[in-house]
Each structure stands twice: as C-alpha cells, then as structure tokens.
Amino acid sequence: MKKLTKRFNLPSCTVDKRLITQLETYFNTRIPTFLKKDLTQMMNLYDLKNPASLRTYALTIEEGKEVSQLESIKQYREENFDPKIKGIKMHLKVGRPEAIDLQIVFNRFAAPYMEIATVSENVKKTIPRIAEQIQSIFESWSNKNHIVSTSWFRSLLVLAPLAAVTGAGLLLGGNPFFLGASLGWLLILSALLAFNLYRLFQLVSFKTRKHVALKRLGAIALLTVNLSLIGFYIFVLFVNLDILSIPTWVNVF
C-alpha cells in the first residue's frame, strides 16, 4: 500500500486551551466517521472488540527545557500556558497500518501546519475535506500576523522607503548620483524594519499566564529605534542634498 502524505499551512493564530480542546473534539468525533470502513476491516482482521485499541493520540507541550506528553489538554491543569512555551504538537494515529496519521504543529518560531498521511484509499479521497474542516476551526483564533511574513509585504516594506526617498529627492532637485550612492544604509534599515516587525507579529502566539513580556518589550523598543533611525537618516540625507536645512534653534546647542 502506497502512503500518501499531504501538508497544509494553517493560519497565523493565538493558541489557547480552547483551541486545543476544539481540535481534540474534532479528532474524537469527526475523524472516526471517515474511518468506519477501514476500522471495521481492521477489527475483523485482528479480532478486536474495541476500536480504541487502534487509536493513539499524544499532545506534546514544550515549555522551556521541559517537554510534557499528555493524553489530552484536560490533563494540563493551568488555565493558560507557561510564558516559556516554545511549541505544541498534536499527533493522532488510527489503524494498523495507519488509516490516518495526523499531526498539527504550533511552533513559536515558525508557521503552524498540519500534516495528514494515510495508506487507505478511502481516506486519501477525504483528506481535502478533513483539512478544510480543521482549517475552519481556526476562524475564531486566526489573526492578520501572516501579512507581515508574506514576501510581497516584506518587499514593499524594503522598497517603498527607497522609492519614496528617491522620488522626493529627485523631485526636489537633489543630486541624483549622491542620492543613489547614499541609499545603502536606508536599504539596510528598511530590511531591519521588516525583520523587527516579523519578530513582533509572530505567526504563532500562545495565551500565557500574566508576566512581564521582556522579549516583546525589547522588540517594541528595537522597532522604535529602527523607525527613529530611518527618519533621522532621511533627514540627514536631505540636509546633505541641500533639500532641508538644520533649524536655527539647533545651532544654539
């Protein structure tokens, strides 16, 4: 039997216990309806009375240096996750061999995704439907952070300041050669801006217990410095192009 594996991107989202509960409910109630024929055949083949013996599920939560493996999110006692959380992995296997092998992975430093594998011809036909139903669960938890990670947005963020400064400089009579030669630092600062926004608006965030988010505060501080440097560099550039002049009150100091 040939194994088919499909990977699907999931929307950027904020993960909390309610989302995990919803997904586990789907695993327990909807997935079995797609596997009735396969499970019946396997139970007869292995002379089994309970289909639960053909099912394994593990919820892996990585918090700091600790990795916990649970049978359900219900075993996680805290209302919210630890601030040190790095990722969550949901892994469901049903059948021998697997009629379905389904993984949903949330990683703080990467895009969330779902992977579905099967050797069952019946399940192969229903994979798109399963993926669509699971993706629909995310509607209440999805956000717009993915926009920051798209290539077109990053390109726009890097090129727009260059185009705006070049256009304004030429329009106001600046030296085109000096202007072109001076855009290197602006390009670097714009690229850093795209990177800082990506750090601030991550594809996966977790609802955690109340704490002082030092990393987020640091990212906001870096973003503020980044924007200030871009503004200051443009001002200095236009001063050197004799487009702007330093205010007289500055000379007093």
Note whether 34 and 88 are same-domain residues: yes
| Domain housing 215 | 146-251
Note whether 33 and 132 are same-domain residues: yes
The Cβ of residue 130 has, within 10 Å, a number of other Cβ atoms equal to 21
Note whether 45 and 112 are same-domain residues: yes
- What pTM did the predictor assign? 0.86
Q: What is the pLDDT of residues 164-217, one digit of tens each?
A: 999 999 998 888 898 888 899 999 999 999 999 988 999 999 999 887 777 888
Which of the four pLDDT bands, split at 50, 70 and 90, describes residue 103? very high
- Least confidently predicted of 133-137, 177-181, 229-233: 177-181
Cα–Cα distance, 160 to 166 (Å, whole number): 10
Cα–Cα distance, 137 to 134 (Å, whole number): 5
Q: What is the pLDDT of residues 3-53, one digit of tens each?
A: 999 999 999 999 999 999 999 999 999 999 998 888 888 888 777 777 778
* Torsion sign (Cα): 64, 70, 73, 78: negative
Please report, to the nearest 10 degrees, the dihedral formed by the alpha carbons of residues 216, 164, 160, 158 taken in order: -60
Which of the four pLDDT bands, split at 50, 70 and 90, describes residue 249? low
* Secondary structure (DSSP) of 104-124: EEEETTS--EEEEEE--HHHH
Note whether 212 and 103 are same-domain residues: no
Strand order of the β-sheet with 55-63 is: 4-9, 113-118, 100-107, 85-94, 55-63, 66-70
Note whether 39 and 111 are same-domain residues: yes
Query: Which secondary structure element, helix H or strand E, spans residue 26, and what is its range?
Result: helix 17-29
- Examine the pLDDT at 253 and tell me if it is beyond 60: no
Last residue within a domain, chosen from 140, 172, 196: 140
Find residue 124's DSSP bridge partners: none
Cα–Cα distance, 146 to 201 (Å, whole number): 8
Last residue within a domain, chosen from 94, 111, 140: 140
Note whether 178 and 232 are same-domain residues: yes
Note whether 122 and 213 are same-domain residues: no
Please, which residues have CB within 8 angstroms of residue 235's CB and are 6 or more apart in sequence?
244
Give all strands (DSSP E) within 64-193, no chain letters.
66-70, 85-94, 100-107, 113-118
Note whether 49 and 104 are same-domain residues: yes
Note whether 160 and 95 are same-domain residues: no
DSSP 3: -
Cα–Cα separations (whole angstroms), residue 209 to 16, 104, 107, 213, 248: 11, 23, 18, 10, 51
Number of domains in the chain: 2
Which of the four pLDDT bands, split at 50, 70 and 90, describes residue 225? very high
Note whether 21 and 73 are same-domain residues: yes
The pLDDT value recorded for residue 65 is 92
Note whether 35 and 150 are same-domain residues: no
Last residue within a domain, chosen from 122, 140, 158: 140
Note whether 23 and 41 are same-domain residues: yes
